[in-house]
Every structure is written in C-alpha cells, then in structure tokens.
C-alpha cells in the first residue's frame, strides 16, 4: 500500500510545472520537497543528455551528481530569465565538459587508440544496449569537435529547438545551424566509409 502511495507521490511530482517547483523552492519549509520534484522531473532527461557526452554510465552518474549539487547550491540565484530546463541543461553541459576535460588530462592513451578504446568501453558497458548501427553512430560522433557533437546530440537526440540550444550554449542560432550541418555531413561521410570498408 505504501509503495503505491510512493509511486503516486512520484507521479504527482513528475506532473508539477516549473512554476510550481520554483514556488516550492522559494520557501525554506518546502525547499526539500521542491528539490525532490525538480529531480523527479529532470533527472532522467539530464542523465541521458550527459550520457551522450561522457558515454559511460558510471561517468554519467558522477556528472549528474555534480550537476544536482551545483543546482542545489545555486537554485536560489535562478532569476527566471530563461526557462528552468534550459538553465539546468546549461549546468549539466558545463559539468560534462569540465568532466571530459579533466579526463582528457588524466588520459595517457595515444589519440590513435581513442576510437578503439571507445568501442571497447561501449561493448563492455552493461548499460549500453545499442546495436551495431548505434555503435557506429557513437564512434562517428566521437570524431566530431566537441561543439559540433554537443549541438548534434541536443538537436538530433534531445529534439531541442535551436532557440533553446542557443540559450544553453550561449551561441547564435546561425552558428548552431552551421555546426549541426557540418556535424551531420561528417557523420554521414563516416558511416558511408564504414559501410564501404
């Protein structure tokens, strides 16, 4: 019975609007409830956004924890100038980039082995349930410059509007469209080469 109530409670928090969540976060007595509602609504979406950038489940878990710690500490400063979810995505994106850069500094493997390592990591990752085509797409994405990969992920997988991506990455819509176009061409070319090879 209590389990049923708990799932209904989660259901209710999933249905809360951003305005309701922010209202809960305004008051000290309802802050925790508001933060739980925020996590219930956005945790999974942010996890998959992060996961597409860092690839591995454990790394994505680390980054999502860092993201929510940062959100917890700075939600009071959220002024409502942007939508809540674009603000959250910006934090998640920045945390992912910070994580990737730290990891790159630590990495000692040569660049030649990077693609091979990614393929091995994806095959070994029990949470990666993609088929061979998805595997090739991930490898194609790995070849892209960071900005192009980010834009492609957000537009193609997350189906975000250019306006929202522009707000998150603080880049003009024109520049984003160009990045997406270049990314799509490079991916197409990579997949064609793999198919022919």
Using alpha carbons, select from 32, 47, 41, 35 the residue that is nearest to residue 12: 41
Name the CATH code of domain 109-197 (choices 1.10.10.10, 1.20.80.10, 3.40.50.150, 3.10.25.10): 1.10.10.10
Cα–Cα distances (Å) from 147 to 24, 78, 89, 104, in that order, read 35, 25, 15, 16
pLDDT of residue 130: 55
Residues of the chain with CATH 1.10.10.10: 109-197
Q: Is 109 helix (H, G, I), strand (E, B) or coil?
A: coil
DSSP string across 37-96: HHHHHHHHHHHHHHHHHH-SHHHHHHHHHHHHHHHHHHGGG--SSS-HHHHHHHHHHHHH
Instruction: Give the chain's residues under pLDDT 70.
Output: 1-14, 107-133
Residue ranges matching CATH 1.10.1740.10 in the chain: 1-108
Identify the CATH class of 1-108.
Answer: mainly alpha
Q: What is the reported pLDDT for 116?
A: 47
The model's pTM is 0.75
- pLDDT for 7: 46
- The answer to whether 111 and 146 have CB atoms below 8 angstroms apart is no
pLDDT at site 6: 44
H or E element that contains 149: helix 146-152
Is residue 93 within 8 Å of residue 169, measured between CB atoms?
yes
What is the maximum alpha-carbon separation in the chain?
62
- To the nearest 10 degrees (0 to 180), the angle between helices 84-106 and 57-74 is 130
């Amino acid at each position: 019975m209590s389990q049923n109530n708990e799932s209904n409670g989660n259901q209710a928090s999933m249905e809360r609007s951003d305005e309701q969540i922010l209202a809960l976060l305004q008051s000290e007595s309802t802050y925790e409830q508001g933060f739980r509602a925020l996590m219930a609504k956005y945790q999974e979406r942010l996890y998959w956004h992060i996961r597409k950038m860092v690839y591995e489940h454990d790394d994505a878990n680390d980054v999502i924890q860092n993201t929510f710690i940062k959100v917890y500490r700075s939600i009071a400063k959220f002024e409502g100038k942007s939508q809540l979810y674009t603000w959250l995505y910006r934090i998640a994106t920045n945390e992912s980039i910070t994580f990737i850069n730290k990891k790159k500094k630590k990495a000692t493997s040569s660049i030649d082995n990077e693609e091979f390592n990614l393929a091995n990591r994806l095959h070994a990752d029990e949470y990666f349930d993609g088929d061979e085509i998805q595997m090739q797409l991930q490898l194609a994405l790995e070849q892209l410059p960071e900005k192009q990969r980010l834009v492609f992920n957000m537009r193609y997988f997350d189906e975000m509007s250019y306006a929202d991506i522009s707000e998150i990455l603080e880049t003009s819509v024109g520049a984003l469209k160009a990045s997406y176009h270049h990314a799509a061409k490079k991916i197409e070319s990579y997949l064609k080469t793999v198919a022919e090879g």
